[in-house]
Every structure is written in structure tokens, then in C-alpha cells.
Amino acid sequence: MAFNVPDTTQRRIIIAGGGFGGLTLARKLAKRDFQVVLLDKNNYHQFQPLFYQVAMAGLEPSSIVFPLRKLFQKTENIFVRMAMLQKVEPETQTIHTDIGSIRYDYLVLALGADTNWYGNERIRANAIPMKSVSEALFFRNILFEDYEKAVASEGGAQRQSLLDIVIVGGGPTGVEVAGALAEMKKHVIPKDYPDLSLNEVQIHLFHGDKRLLNTMSEEASAKAEQFLNELGVKLHIDKLITDYDGKTATTADGMTIRTKKVIWAAGIIGNRVDGLPDSAWTRANRLRVDEYNLAEGFSNIFAVGDLAFQTEEAFPAGHPQVAQVAMQQGELLAKNLQSLRDNKPLKAFRYKDLGSMATIGRHRAVVDLPFWHFQGAFAWFVWMFVHLFSILGTKNKVFVFFNWVWNYFTYDQSLRLVIKPWKR
């Protein structure tokens, strides 16, 4: 297997990563005079904000992914390759992957970030992350497998460990997972598992800070805490999980919870690339870039999205690692690459904060816009509208909308299936 990309007179831009930043950049370059090679370990784009709904059986995984090749079927200058980037050789302007090596004129690293385990290998070996569709499906299988085991068990501590769920991290992913699980407990468990008592199912959310959603406003934080309390989630604020052996989660102050399921949503870390010097990287494996997203010390290596550590006056500690930053960087970089080739001045990146939001169940959401903060049912509808129209593909939008309408009126997700991977 090899790249098999033809050599042309066009300058070659390699984009490593088909997430929000890399995909936006590729789409903006589609009609420009470059040869673009888009690499990703998957052959599809994943809509990360809705992973938790796949995990909770609310959506099919196919509804939130989109084939990369389908986007560029009518584009002659873009070549899509499913490959893992292994190493960069800046001296020869070459990258090495699991399907071969290829030379670049410009390299854009848009590899995003992965789960940050903070060096705790035992937690890593036993907890469940939520950073991909496959991880969301894995949790869905484990969740319903354990419910099936619980109804067949005789009770006691073993049964309780099958039912109790621990979520680590009080950011958007953590609170959204907690809210969805609490609603499943209220509306699904009584119908599907009438021989289980709702009091047996306990949902714990641990957060190592004094307030939830600490990157959002204090109003959003307080309201999220209120919503979760109303839903019966047991909140453990300013408390850290420091160990999990697959059976027992332990906090820094010695508290223990027996559980078979710990969802780890406590942080992210950049997907570091071999071949670049240590001095190019900063905390959490983010690559230092200047105001044009050019990696420090290089003239033709760029980074966008979660991997890029870029500062400006309003964001001295770097931009938030959210989709809007990645997409805005990708859009501007497409113009700057054109300007760079044509020897024209480049435009500095300035992030336009369009706001942030999180949902905590039906009619419960928090929205922070630049000049307006609001919560509740209206915020929930705004959250649904924004996410629906952000999903790629008309068919996906229709499927997601249909599922949301069905679930809204029936309180009944229809995808509670345990689909185990086939083994020879």
C-alpha cells in the first residue's frame, strides 16, 4: 500500500488530520491551485460534540460521521489517504506514515488531541474515554451488558457495581454524559428493566475544580450544577479520582466507589508528532505557533486546532480547544497559504469567540454568547439547532433530527443494542 499521489507543478500541501480544522482547510483549498493530500487514521470525519449521544443509544454512529472521500468526489486536486502519521523529517520535507513516505511543500498538522490520563497508567487501562465513535460504541456495549448482568444477579455489592457509574471531569463532555445517563435512568430503566430499582442506579460526577464548566460563565456553572442535582446526579466537586483498578474508584482523600464503569472526561492532550524538536512543544503536547499558525522555528510547517498553542492579547494562555477555533484557523490558513505562494502579506489570526454551550438533558442547557448568557429550555433548543446544522451531510441532519423528535415525544431511544465485535 502506498500514497500513489502524482507529482505535478502544483505545490503540495499535506494536511494531517481530518477533524474540524483540517477538514475546513481542505475544503477551502479545494478550488485553489494546490495539490492537497488529506491524511487521517479513519476514512471519515467525526462530529465529536455528539459522541455522548451515541454512547447513550440516542443516535446511530453513522449519523455523526461523514466519509471524507464523499466530500471531495468532484475535486481533482485533493487526494484522501487513510494513514497514520509516524514521523516528520523537516530537513527533507518528508513525512513517514504506515502506508509510505511522501514529500511536502507545506505541512499542516491538524491531529487534534486525545484523552489526557495525567500519567496514571492504571486508570488508562481500566477507564473508558469518550474521544471517538468507537469509544462511544464501546461504552454503549458495556453499559447495556452490565444492565443485563445486573438483572440476572442476586443483588448485593456485585450487582451495585454493575449499576453504578462514575464520570470524571465536569467540563461539557462530563456534564452532558451525566445528564444523558440521568435521563436514561429516569425514562428507560423503568421500561426496559422493571426488575431494577431506580434507587440502585447511582450516577457520580467527580470534578477537580470548585465549579463545573469552569471555562464558561459563573451563571452557566451554577445552573449546570442545579440541573444535575435536579436529575439526581451525585456531584463531588473539587474532588479528584486518583486510582481505578477496574473494580474500585478511589479519590485523593480515600473515598471509594465500587463500579465497573468509569468514564474519563477529565482533560485532553495533543497528539504529538515524532521528528520535531522538544523545544517546539509546550504543555499538554501543544505545538507552539505564531499568529499565522506557523510552527516556531519552521518556514513551512503549520498547526491548527487543538494541537496548536497560539496566544493573543485576549487569550494569553492559548485559545480554547474547541471546534470554532480550529475551523476559523483552517479558513484563514487557506487564504494565507495562497498569499504565501504569491508572495503577498499574511493576515494574523484573531479568534472570534462565538460563544459556548452545553446541554444537561431535556429542556436543560446553558449558553454563553459574547453579550448574552441564558439557560433552560430556550438554551436547549438553541443548542439543538446549532449542533444540527453543524453536522455534515443532509442525510445525517435528517436522521439526527428524526431521532431527536422521536426521543422527544416517546422518551425512548431505539438503539439500545449490544453489538459485539466479531472474532475469528
Residue 131 sits in the same domain as residue 240: yes
Task: Please tell me the predicted confidence (pLDDT) of residue 4.
Answer: 86
Residue 102 sits in the same domain as residue 62: yes
Residue 92 sits in the same domain as residue 212: no
Task: Please tell me the predicted confidence (pLDDT) of residue 197.
Answer: 83
Tell me, yes or no, whether 105 lies in a domain: yes
Whether 286 has a pLDDT exceeding 80, the answer reads yes
Residue 307 sits in the same domain as residue 235: no
Tell me the average pLDDT across 210-216: 93
Whether 419 has a pLDDT exceeding 70, the answer reads yes
* Model pLDDT for residues 112-133, shown as the tens digit of each residue: 999 999 999 999 999 999 999 9
Tell me, yes or no, whether 385 lies in a domain: no
What is the phi-psi region of residue 77: left when phi exceeds 0, alpha when psi lies from -120 to 50, beta otherwise? alpha
b (16+ CB within 10 A) / e for 382-407: bbbeebeeebbbeebeebbeebbeeb
Provide the 10 A C-beta neighbour count for residue 2: 11
Tell me, yes or no, whether 4 lies in a domain: no
Residue 244 sits in the same domain as residue 175: yes
Domain boundary among 326, 341, 356: 341
Provide the 10 A C-beta neighbour count for residue 353: 16
Mean pLDDT of the chain: 93
Whether 165 has a pLDDT exceeding 70, the answer reads yes
Residue 240 sits in the same domain as residue 295: no
> What is the value of pTM for the model shown?
0.93
Task: Please tell me the predicted confidence (pLDDT) of residue 213.
Answer: 95
Query: First CA to last CA across the chain, in angstroms?
Result: 25
Task: Please tell me the predicted confidence (pLDDT) of residue 424.
Answer: 62
**Domain of 151, in residue numbers:** 124-266
Residue 262 sits in the same domain as residue 273: no
Tell me the average pLDDT across 362-378: 95
Task: Please tell me the predicted confidence (pLDDT) of residue 407.
Answer: 83
Residue 164 sits in the same domain as residue 290: no
Question: Under a CB-based contact definition with an 8 Å cutoff, are residues 94 and 103 in contact?
Answer: yes
Number of domains in the chain: 2
* Model pLDDT for residues 300-347, shown as the tens digit of each residue: 999 999 999 999 998 999 999 999 999 999 999 999 999 999 999 999
* Model pLDDT for residues 68-83, shown as the tens digit of each residue: 999 999 899 999 999 9
Whether 47 has a pLDDT exceeding 90, the answer reads yes
Tell me the average pLDDT across 58-70: 92
Residue 261 sits in the same domain as residue 274: no
Whether 1 has a pLDDT exceeding 60, the answer reads no
Residues listed for the chain:
424
Tell me, yes or no, whether 76 lies in a domain: yes
Tell me, yes or no, whether 378 lies in a domain: no
Tell me, yes or no, whether 371 lies in a domain: no
Whether 20 has a pLDDT exceeding 90, the answer reads yes
Say which CATH number the domain at 174 has: 3.50.50.60
Tell me the average pLDDT across 150-173: 90
Domain boundary among 266, 294, 324: 266
Give percent of the chain with pLDDT exceeding 90.
81
Question: Under a CB-based contact definition with an 8 Å cutoff, are residues 326 and 306 in contact?
Answer: yes
Tell me, yes or no, whether 389 lies in a domain: no
Alpha carbon distances (Å) from 157 to 24, 148, 232, 248: 50, 16, 21, 11
Domain boundary among 231, 249, 266: 266
Residue 260 sits in the same domain as residue 134: yes
Residue 207 sits in the same domain as residue 104: no
Tell me the average pLDDT across 350-357: 94
Residue 135 sits in the same domain as residue 260: yes
